[in-house]
Structure 1
């Protein structure tokens, strides 16, 4: 799962990643306060002292999960900016592809997504950071002539994050819709609107 503060050695890395994975499942399913270190170590088949070789506390492992989510999400959004000089006919499919990648991450890492996007007290800050990054991407894409010059990209970015947040919770994480289909719906709505 993560790369932070790893204990050296393959067995140590495997054990640490297993603790992170199990902790993510437990926090996601039971919430922060109901999750117990004793449950995490029991499921990982390690001792409690072993847990403390890798993490100082329950709060420390929770914060690391949030950091992993944030780092991965930031990387995906940075990679989602459209390249300069693209042909106009390829823009829609490229946006769909990049948004599908983000939704696939949310689905594959559903426990991390639930923690970082909804549970953590930092989730609002994460979404604000995400909106700022999306706004920068959109403004650059606007300068490149991909989008109308009269559109307020801050409003578009905030709207897009709201759409992503809500539909991830109500559709994607509940298995109602697949990442590619969700990306297609959102891109179609934003690029073409609702008027028939």
Structure 2
């Protein structure tokens, strides 16, 4: 595989990746052909092979792009130990909204990396582990009850987020702000009427 050179090469590669992301998300891995990708990218097949050795290679790169971006995003949302208690709920709300915004800004890439990837279940396990590590750190900072298992909490939170992505965000039934408010309201205040 020949590496791209200069700005034009980077733009061409980005165009191929954008076309491939759409094709994979719309038609699935097995029903997408390199000819579909190059047609959408307005290129030739030899042009495709300057950047990627195969359909598998571009798919794998898209999956890694998604995972790297999501991993960095989750790491940056870890709460610092200096947040005032009265600001905690708002800070959690902002973090969850940023996460939902990432998925809505990248719907096709989310489908490729979170749903279609052949190892998506093991990847989800790694994301849950990363969430649990954040939650444990935040629990040690005194933000959460010490008698809660952050491993189980991470599974619950990720389960909610994953279902809201597929059932609401990807179907345009809600938006990141509203979904984040609902999640925080449920997690912080619970489901039982306390009035």
- Give TM-score scaled by structure 2 length: 0.96
Contact 1:24-1:111 at 8 Å conserved across structures: yes
Contact 1:6-1:13 at 8 Å conserved across structures: no
Q: How does 1:98-117 map to 2 (within 5 A)?
A: 98-117=95-114
Residue of structure 1 equivalent to 2:70: 73
Q: Please give the alpha-carbon distance, in whole angstroms, between the structure 2 residues aligned to 1:125 and 1:14.
A: 32
RMSD: 1.1
* Unaligned ranges ≥5, structure 1: none
Residue of structure 2 equivalent to 1:155: 152
Deviating above 6 A after TM superposition, structure 1's stretches of 4 or more consecutive aligned residues are none
Contact 2:169-2:176 at 8 Å conserved across structures: yes
**2:41 aligned with 1:41:** no
Q: How does 1:81-96 map to 2 (within 5 A)?
A: 81-96=78-93
Residue of structure 2 equivalent to 1:31: 28
Contact 1:37-1:58 at 8 Å conserved across structures: yes
Residue of structure 1 equivalent to 2:132: 135
Contact 2:3-2:50 at 8 Å conserved across structures: no
* Unaligned ranges ≥5, structure 2: none
Residue of structure 1 equivalent to 2:61: 64
Q: Please give the alpha-carbon distance, in whole angstroms, between the structure 1 residues aligned to 2:126 and 2:99.
A: 15
Report the CA distance between 1:123 and its aligned residue: 1.1
- Give TM-score scaled by structure 1 length: 0.96
Aligned pairs, number: 192
